[in-house]
Structures are given as C-alpha cells and as structure tokens.
C-alpha cells in the first residue's frame, strides 16, 4: 500500500522490505497483510458457531437454548416457584436482561411468552397470568400488564441446581455466574420439542408424550447386556410418535421408525373433526383440534376465501362460524342440504391447513457441537447427563454429610468432657483464649468415645474428612472448626433430650454417608436412583396422548368423523327409516298427548322404534328371516317430524321383505353372545353372535322360516337367561334359555309356545336367570341398597299399560301354552308389545299415526297378571299403538319442566 499523500512513497522508506513497519514521525502504526478469503472464512465460521451454540440450537441435555435457560434460571433466582405469587413480567425481563442476557427486552419477553403458551409447549414451563397470546395469532399483552411464575414441572428442570450438579460460567460482565446447562430431571428436548434457524442449518423437533418418553428412557437405562433388541427398538415400543399440544391426528405410521432412526422425516398432521346434525336436516363439520402451529384465525379466513371463490361449493355461508371459547375449540362448517361431508373434508385437507406437514430435523448441540441425532441417541444423551448430575449431587451431599459428621463428632467429644470444657471456658479471658485453651486441652489427649478407648485402635482419618487427626497411639487432635462449634453450642443443647438428638443425628448422618458412598461406588445403584426419579416424574406429570396416530392404509373412516350420540331410529310400515337425537323428545307425564315424532302418509304408520349409538351396527332382520347390516350414522337425520328415507335406498331388500326388528350392536365378534329369535307362530331359535360378523351388503339367512310364518322379534342373550314370550290375546310363557340349543343360521328352530287359534306372538323379552337374579338381590341387600324388581311392561293397542313382576310368571318348559299376561277387553284392546323395565326406565311409545310420548315407567302402576293397566297415551278413535321401546336409564334425558308438551 502507498502513502495517501504520495502514492509512490512506501510507508516505511527506510526499510522498503518492511512496508508494515513503523514510519519515523508517524507514530507506531502497524499494518498487517492478510488473505481476505481466509479471514472471511475464519470470521464467518466463528460467527456461525456463535449463533449455533449461543443462540439458535438447543442443548441435547436440557433441551434449552441459552435465552430459555437464562429466563428459567433468572426466575428461579427471583424465587418465582410454582407455589409463590405471580410477579410482573417486566420485572422478570429486567432481571434476566440486566444479569444474564444483554439483548433487547422484546426477545426475552417473547421467549417467556412461548414458555407459557399451552398451545406451543406440550408441558409449559412458565405459568402466565394475563394475555399471553392465543392460537388465533393474537399478540400477548405488554409485559407491564402480565405476570408470571414457574410451573411445577419447571421446578424439575432446576432441581438440585444448588448442589454442584452443573457447571457455572461468568455472565457477560463477570458480575455473577450462570449455569451452562440445567440439571433437568425431564427429557425436555423431546417432550417439548424445539425449533430454530442457525447459520447453514436448522432444527425442528416435535413435542412428545412425557409418559412414553420416560418409559423409553427407563427401558434404555435398564437394558441388560444380553439384550438382543437395539436401542431404537426398545424406544419405539414406548414412543408411538409425536404428541402435539393441540391434539389432532398424525396420518401415517409406516415412516415413524425410519424418521426416528435417521433424525429426519416428515409427519402429516390433520385436524380432528366430527359430523353433527344442525337445523333444517343439514349436517356440519365440527373442528375441535387443529394441526400444531396452525393459526386458527387464518385457517378460518382461508376457508372463507375458498367458499367465496367457488373452490368449495358445498359449505353454507350462514352456518360457517367460530364457536371457540375458554372450554375448547369449536369451528362449525355447515354444509348445504344433500352435501357429502367426506368430499368437503377432502377438499379442506387439500386446500387448507386442516392438513399440514411437520418436517422433523432432530438437530441439537451435543458435546459442544451441532449434531443430528436419532431418537434413541437423544435419550441416551439425556441419560448420560442425568448420570453426571446424580453423581455430582451425591458427591456434594457426601461432602456436606462428612462436614456435618465432623461437627457432630466434636459435639460428642465435648459432651463426654463437659465439666472440663465448661471449666476451661470459664477460666479463659476471651473467646480467642477459650478457643486456644480448648484446642490445647484436647491436643494429644486420649479420648474415650462413649466407653470405647481409642488407644491402639487404627482409625482412617479420611473417613471423617476433617482437620481432626489421630496419632499412631490413638490420640486425637480436635480441629479449630470443631472447637468453634463447641464454643457456639447453646446451653439448652446440654439437656439429655438434646444430647440424644445430637447422637441420633450423628447416626443418621453416618447412615447417609454409607448410602452416598455406596451410590458412588456402584454404577448399578446409581442407575436405580435415576430410574426412581424418572418414575416419580412420570407418575406426577405424565398424561394421556392428545394426538391420535392413524395408519395411512386405514384412511380416516366416516365413522371417525361422526359424533357418538344416542339417537332414536324409527321405521315405518312402508319402509321409511330415519334417526333423531333422543334429546329432541322431552319427558312427559303419563296420559300426555305426546309430540309429532314422524310425519307419515295416511296409509302409513310407524312400525318400530329403537334407541342406540350412532356408531353401533344395526342388524336389520326381515320378516322372511334374513339379516342386513347398517351403521346408524348412515341413516339420515331429517328432523323430528320428517318422513325419513326409504329402506330400499339404504338396504337391498328382496321382493316381499320388510324390516321387523333392528338390533344395535357395537361388537359383532363378541364371544358368549347369542341372537335369540321368535316367530309369529311361536317358534324360537338361538344362534351365536359371531355367526353374523361377516358383513355382506346383500344380506344373509338368519333363520329358516315356514311359508305361513314370519319373524316378529329378535334379542341378544348370553345363553343362560330366561325367555319371556307374550301373545296378542294376552297369554305369556317364561322358560329357561338353556331349553333351546344353539343352532346354525339356516336352522328353523323349535317350538317356544303353543298358541290358541288365531293367536300369535307379539313380543319377546329376556330376563336374568333365577340364580343370577337371586345373587344380585343378595348383593344389593348386603350393600344396603334397594332391590329393584324386574318388571314386564305390557302395552295394549288402545294405549293402556301395566307393569308386572316377572316372578309372578312361573318358570315352565318351553312349548307350553303359558299363563295369562294381561286382561284384554274392547276398552284396552289386544296386547301390542311388551318391554322389560325397572323403576329407573323410561318408555317411548309411538302410534300408527306417528304420535310419540316419552314417560317415566315408574309412573305406571304395578299390577298383577290378570289386570287391564292404566292409560298411557290418549289416542284418536281410529289410532292404535304401533310400537314401544325402553330408553336405557343412563341415556334418559329429562326436560327442565316435567310435563311440558312439545308440539
């Protein structure tokens, strides 16, 4: 380089060979010649490592970046434990910024805010009070308006930090110290995840379930030497996949193992939805959980844009709204009439963030260097950290215990020579003189410790970790620390009780010393301590998974989207089927006029009513003895007064077939269950339930039927119950189910009751066996509970009904003519149906003209067999009761005001 005034003049004219040397008269300025490329490379690498280690990437041991660690440690220093009151966030930010993190207050506050957000962290580490943002992307309130403290689980991150468990380093101005890592009893990096962009690299670790990760850590640390399974196999037995704080679905299981093996991969997240019925006979998609890190407000805005742009045409604008509140998320996406919700869902998954991907990069600082880790290696790194922490903590506690033993031993020696100690102190002119006199008194003196002469006994000085030393002859020299402790001994400690307490404490301290030494000497015992602490953390903070993992080969079925609710399913005589939530019908007193439950034509009437879950299978049995399968959610909900949908459009019925009874069953493969049949002519049969588990759309033969006969009722039994058959003319028979042997599906069955001329069977009920019923009654009597009788409710065509105890019907052999069940007269009409009830049952009865009433069966007077009963439903002169069904007690919903009629 040339001089600025004279470009030709060297900087050092006296020594042209040393142009960078000093120039006379120009001071001692030096110029270094460097290679720009090398300097840029070195400076950029230094900057990169500074960003990577000191800012952007978490430490694999505690899962925290420096700013997170400083916030938590700063709050610990301020005493903001979970059981203390909240403190202004601005005070916390100021403390952290002034002592540990010399950057902008916004960066520190943003960090603290994220640590407090339950939708960002699976297990929040800060307990915030005030507005800390929302899943809608709303910003938090200013730090002067919010307050914070540590959560209980954050205390586990900082536990034992004062026990020399981790290294400390000077802060930025060397005015104090800060930890380089936290002790971290929980695998925070894995359970809470992390994300960050460094220079040339990035990390994106999903959160996981604490219970699963801790169980995996216990499995790894407990792994035996002869174990043939790899670490990853052991881990994947417990860790099923990410567990996001916002719930939802993870779609796909096949790539999870490979992702955790390499530390890189992608998970497909989906919103959790259900299907509900809304006004006007329409349906709505209800979104209750959305993918992780998705902004709910933007998601709703995006859906609205798609509707406005015509991309999705089946969403009703007037039924699209956000009903989320403090109790949870609820986005209502109403559909137009006739829209197929599965198609709309697929469109939403394609065009919106209701389906989103999470790309995992498991990158963290390990041994001072950024490293991509498989899941098992990350857990191993955490366990190695815990081993080091527990070892250092045990050594620290051992040192403390030895120091305390040293002092207690001095007390013991002084108490054995109490009179001489007091005399020596009283003869001393000052504290310093007393200190020296006591030291000299015990120097070289043979000490008898509670009757044990030390002379000639070899003692290990290291055992006491003291300045106290023993000569080869067993003489003992007290340390000045012990002498100082003796001088500070309070007078009340000279009582016998206090002396015993000191000796007891000495024994306990020595036991602790033995325990600490054994832990440090045994790797196996040290690992047991770690396992015990992990189990405590799991039991205290573990919870159930929020995110459900589904296999990509098992695409979310329609059933996964349907709300599980109780509904009333009705079928008309001409084959119209519909469902309605039972909450639509309020409870009324007997004798009410009911409400319109199904709109029918003049020539049609309701033939059957059943109450069950939307997720149950419907076994639809026809009069000809065939059975068809149907899911309840496949039946349309067209409103309480709607006509419904023709059965022919839901089931491929054969000519001349009509549905006579429907059973709701959740598990078709359940062993020990039977389907029991009864025909109009009194024939009965039972067949194992698993025989009907092979679902076929075209239906199969369920029972063989004679030409002049038809199936009238079907029930589910356990094979050892008592069967009750009732006839139209008021007869009934009760016999043991074991009288009917199990038969295959095509079998015709055996005779159940002998009928009179023109009579026919109208109902079938199954009751517990005599042995089971008596055993249950004895249990209730022992528990001091009321014995609820088992009652048969008989309903006549003209709306009369009565309840009769089943014990009034004697047990007979099948095939008999039975006994009188109900006295039938022109006033009551013939028997229409029977139901099995108790004092807690509710009844829904429906007439041929579609009028429904819902009453408490307890309001129906109990009567004997040969009685007429009481009025249940007021009917028009030409109307008759078509069917009645009992609502299970746990599903019964009563109205706010009993007796209110809904028209």
Cα 634 from Cα 399, distance rounded (Å)? 72
Q: How many CB atoms lie within 10 A of CB 545?
A: 16
Q: Does residue 110 contact residue 95 with C-beta atoms inside 8 Å?
A: no
Q: Considering only CA atoms, give the Rg of the chain.
A: 42
**Rounded CA separation 269/547 (Å):** 9
User: What is the Cα–Cα distance from 537 to 748, expressed in whole angstroms?
Assistant: 62
Length of the chain: 903
Q: Centre a 10 Å sphere on the Cβ of residue 458 and count the other Cβ atoms it contains.
A: 8
SS3 per-residue string spanning 712-747:
EEEEEECCCCEEEEEECCCEEEEEEHHHCCECCCCC
Opening angle at CA 702, ends 698 and 703, nearest 5: 135
For residues 576 and 807, give the distance between their C-alpha atoms in angstroms, rounded to a whole number: 38
Q: CA 54, CA 252: separation in Å to the nearest integer?
A: 36
Contacts 24+ apart (CB under 8 A), 689-698: 689/665, 689/716, 691/744, 691/745, 692/619, 692/627, 692/668, 692/745, 693/668, 693/669, 695/617, 695/629, 695/668, 696/629, 697/628, 697/629, 697/652, 698/652
**Among residues 207, 206, 166, which one has the least CA distance to residue 185?**
166
Residue 651 sits at φ, ψ, to 5 deg, of: -130, 140
Is residue 145 annotated as part of the catalytic site, yes or no? yes
Pick the catalytic residue: 47, 109, 123, 145?
145
| DSSP conformational letter for 861 | P
CA distance 501 to 492: 12
Spatial contact of 90 and 97, defined as CB atoms under 8 Å apart: no
User: Could you tell me the two tokens for 365?
Assistant: 């600082």
Residues 6+ apart with CB under 8 A from 342: 558, 561
**Residue 96, class by beta-carbon neighbours within 10 Å (0-12 exposed, 13-18 middle, 19+ buried)?**
buried
**Side-chain-side CA neighbours of residue 122 (13 Å):** 29
Residue among 889, 801, 413, 394 at smallest CA distance from 590:
801
Query: In the structure encoding, which two tokens stand for residue 651, read together?
Result: 């089931």
State the catalytic residues: 145
């Amino acid at each position: 380089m040339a001089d600025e005034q004279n470009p030709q003049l060297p900087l050092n004219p006296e020594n042209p060979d040393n142009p960078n040397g000093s120039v006379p008269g120009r001071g001692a300025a030096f110029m270094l010649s460097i290679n720009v490329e090398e300097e840029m490379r070195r400076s950029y690498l230094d900057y990169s490592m500074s960003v990577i280690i000191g800012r952007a990437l978490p430490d694999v041991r505690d899962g925290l970046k420096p700013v997170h660690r400083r916030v938590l440690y700063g709050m610990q220093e301020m005493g903001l434990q979970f059981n203390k009151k909240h403190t202004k966030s601005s005070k916390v930010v100021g403390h952290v910024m002034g002592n540990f993190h010399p950057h902008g207050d916004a960066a520190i506050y943003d960090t603290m805010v994220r640590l407090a957000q339950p939708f960002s962290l699976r297990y929040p580490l800060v307990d915030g009070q005030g507005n800390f943002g929302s899943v809608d992307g709303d910003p938090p309130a200013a730090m002067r308006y919010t307050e914070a403290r540590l959560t209980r689980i954050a205390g586990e991150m900082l536990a034992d930090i004062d026990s020399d468990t981790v290294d400390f380093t000077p802060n930025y101005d060397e005015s104090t110290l800060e930890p380089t890592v936290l002790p971290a009893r929980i695998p925070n990096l894995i359970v809470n995840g992390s994300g960050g962009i460094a220079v040339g690299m990035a990390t994106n670790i999903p959160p996981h379930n604490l219970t699963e990760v801790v169980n995996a850590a216990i499995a790894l640390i407990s792994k035996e030497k002869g174990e043939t399974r790899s670490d990853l196999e052991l881990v994947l037995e417990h860790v099923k996949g990410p567990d996001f704080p916002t719930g939802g679905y993870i779609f796909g299981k096949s790539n999870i193992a490979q992702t955790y093996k390499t530390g890189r991969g992608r998970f497909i997240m989906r919103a959790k939805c259900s299907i509900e019925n809304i006004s006007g006979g329409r349906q709505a998609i209800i979104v209750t959980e959305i993918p992780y890190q998705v902004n709910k407000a933007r998601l709703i805005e995006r859906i609205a844009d798609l509707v406005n742009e015509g991309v999705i045409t089946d969403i009703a604008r007037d039924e699209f709204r956000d009903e989320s509140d403090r109790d949870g998320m609820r986005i209502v996406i109403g559909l137009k009439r006739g829209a197929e919700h599965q198609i709309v869902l697929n469109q939403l998954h394609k065009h919106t963030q209701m389906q989103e991907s999470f790309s995992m990069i498991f990158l963290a600082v390990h041994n001072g260097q950024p490293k991509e880790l498989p899941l098992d290696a990350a857990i191993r790194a955490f366990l190695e950290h815990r081993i080091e922490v527990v070892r250092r903590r045990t050594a620290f506690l051992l040192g403390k215990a030895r120091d305390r033993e040293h002092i207690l031993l001095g007390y013991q020696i002084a108490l054995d020579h109490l009179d001489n100690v007091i005399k020596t102190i009283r003869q001393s002119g000052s504290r310093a003189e007393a200190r020296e006199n006591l030291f000299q008194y015990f120097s070289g003196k043979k000490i008898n410790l509670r009757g044990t002469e030390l002379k000639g006994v070899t003692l290990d000085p290291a055992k006491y970790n003291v300045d106290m030393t023993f000569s080869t002859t067993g003489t003992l020299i007290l340390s000045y620390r012990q002498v100082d402790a003796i001088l500070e001994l309070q007078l009340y400690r000279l009582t016998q009780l206090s002396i015993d307490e000191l000796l007891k404490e000495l024994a306990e301290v020595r036991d602790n010393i033995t325990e600490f030494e054994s832990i440090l000497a045994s790797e196996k015992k040290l690992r047991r301590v770690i396992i015990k602490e992990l189990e405590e953390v799991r039991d205290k903070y573990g919870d159930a998974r929020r995110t459900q993992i589904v296999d990509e080969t098992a695409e979310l079925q329609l059933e996964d989207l349907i709300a599980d609710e109780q509904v009333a399913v009705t079928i008309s005589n001409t084959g119209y089927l519909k469902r309605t939530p039972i909450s639509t019908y309020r409870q009324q007193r007997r004798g009410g006029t009911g409400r319109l439950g199904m709109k029918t034509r003049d020539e049609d009437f309701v033939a059957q009513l059943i109450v069950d879950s939307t997720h149950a299978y419907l076994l639809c049995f026809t009069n000809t003895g065939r059975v068809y399968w149907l899911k309840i959610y496949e039946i349309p909900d067209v409103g309480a007064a709607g006509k419904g949908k023709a059965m022919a459009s839901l089931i491929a019925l054969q000519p001349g077939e009509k549905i006579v009874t429907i059973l709701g069953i959740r598990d078709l493969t359940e062993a020990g269950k039977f389907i029991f049949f009864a025909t109009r002519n009194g024939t009965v049969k039972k067949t194992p339930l698993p025989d009907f588990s092979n679902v076929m759309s075209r239906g199969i033969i369920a029972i063989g039927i004679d030409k002049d006969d038809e199936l009238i009722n079907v029930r589910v039994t356990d094979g050892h119950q008592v069967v009750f058959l009732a006839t139209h003319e008021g007869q009934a028979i009760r016999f043991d189910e074991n009288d009917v042997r199990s038969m295959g599906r095509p079998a015709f069955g055996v005779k159940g009751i002998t009928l009179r001329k023109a009579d026919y069977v109208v109902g079938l009920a199954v009751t517990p066996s005599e042995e089971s019923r008596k055993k249950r009654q004895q249990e209730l009597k022992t528990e001091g509970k009321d014995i609820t009788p088992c009652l048969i409710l008989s309903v006549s065509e003209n709306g009369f009904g009565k309840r009769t105890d089943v014990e009034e019907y004697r047990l007979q052999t099948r095939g008999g003519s039975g006994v009188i069940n109900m006295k039938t007269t022109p006033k009551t009409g013939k028997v229409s149906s029977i139901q099995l009830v108790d004092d807690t049952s509710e009844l829904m009865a429906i007439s041929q003209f579609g009028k429904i009433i819902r009453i408490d069966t307890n309001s129906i007077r109990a009567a004997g067999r040969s009685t007429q009963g009481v009025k249940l439903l007021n009917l028009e002169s030409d109307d008759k009761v078509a069917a009645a069904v009992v609502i299970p007690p746990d599903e019964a919903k009563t109205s706010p005001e009993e007796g209110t009629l809904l028209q």
